[in-house]
Amino acid sequence: ETGVTQTPRHLVMGMTNKKSLKCEQHLGHNAMYWYKQSAKKPLELMFVYSLEERVENNSVPSRFSPECPNSSHLFLHLHTLQPEDSALYLCASSQLYGTDDEKLFFGSGTQLSVL
Amino acid sequence: RKEVEQDPGPFNVPEGATVAFNCTYSNSASQSFFWYRQDCRKEPKLLMSVYSSGNEDGRFTAQLNRASQYISLLIRDSKLSDSATYLCVVNSDQGGKLIFGQGTELSVKP
């Protein structure tokens, strides 16, 4: 296994479902991120964990709930989503959060469709 | 004004052409600058960091102009495989969060 792996690659869910996105990094990094990418819009930072502590929470609705059990794993728990939440959700990791050399390594993303 | 602004394109160029993209940023306190490349339906990948002195990696050259608050990416001798969206990334201030531009789409034609 190399880099950052995300599962599932695709997810279709109804508005009443509960699902979770999973991310695992094999790079020995200390920070992990969730980004949202909607069509024709810039990547939006949702959450950052550094050394397993949440350090960023960008006014994300509570229907998105992150979990970081250790420095290699990151989850995004989803419940009662809205159709406008349909987007590509990207996990990333970096060696050090908040430095001038903060280089991100992304997973392949989960394409989420909310019906 | 957007924090990081890019011309979305698309830039349509023939193989072998030289093409340049600019990206403007609003926060003069920004210290970190990067270009990422994103292929269609794939994740972004780091292309290069942008240093004050400018830097070059093969056919790619990145420059920073602090006075005018923009960074640029120059691609020489374009290849078909260069077709992608190029994302400009700037940190909000020293040690601050990374802000992505919406990307510039490049299409290199035979």
pLDDT averaged over every residue in chain A: 93
Instruction: Using CA coordinates, name the residue in chain B closest to A39.
Output: B102
Q: What pLDDT is recorded for position A1?
A: 55
Tell me the average pLDDT across A11-34: 95
CA of residue A35 relative to chain centroid, distance: 5
Q: Which residues of A touch B87 (CB under 8 A)?
A: 42-43
Q: What pLDDT is recorded for position A72?
A: 96
More confident residue, B26 or B96: B26
Asked if A43 lies within 8 A of B45 by C-beta distance, the reply is no
Lowest mean pLDDT among A53-62, A79-88, B81-90: A53-62
Q: Which residues of B touch A100 (CB under 8 A)?
A: 31-32, 91, 94-95
Question: Which residue, chain included where needed, has tokens 């990207």?
Answer: A90
Q: State whether residue A104 sits within 8 Å of chain B by CB.
A: yes
Asked if B46 lies within 8 A of A104 by C-beta distance, the reply is yes
Among A40, A102, A110, A112, pick the best mutation site for testing chain B contact (most B Cβ within 10 A): A102
Q: In what order do the strands lie in the sheet with A4-7?
A: A4-7, A18-25, A73-79, A64-70
Q: What pLDDT is recorded for position B35?
A: 97
More confident residue, A2 or A70: A70
Q: What pLDDT is recorded for position B94?
A: 60
B77: pLDDT strictly greater than 70: yes
Q: State whether residue A84 sits within 8 Å of chain B by CB.
A: no
Centre a 10 Å sphere on the Cβ of residue A61 and count the other Cβ atoms it contains.
Answer: 11
Q: Which residues of B touch A48 (CB under 8 A)?
A: 97
Tell me the average pLDDT across A1-11: 90
Centre a 10 Å sphere on the Cβ of residue A89 and count the other Cβ atoms it contains.
Answer: 22
Maximal C-alpha separation, chain B: 42
Asked if A100 lies within 8 A of B42 by C-beta distance, the reply is no
Q: Which residues of A touch B36 (CB under 8 A)?
A: 104
pLDDT in tens, A35-81: 999 988 999 999 999 988 998 777 899 999 999 999 999 999 999 99
Asked if A3 and A26 count as a contact pair (C-beta separation under 8 A), the reply is yes
Q: Which residues of A touch B8 (CB under 8 A)?
A: 40
Band of pLDDT at residue A101, cut at 50, 70 and 90: confident
Q: What pLDDT is recorded for position A44?
A: 94
Asked if B31 lies within 8 A of A45 by C-beta distance, the reply is no
pLDDT in tens, B34-74: 999 999 989 999 999 998 888 999 999 999 999 999 999 99
Asked if B43 lies within 8 A of A104 by C-beta distance, the reply is no
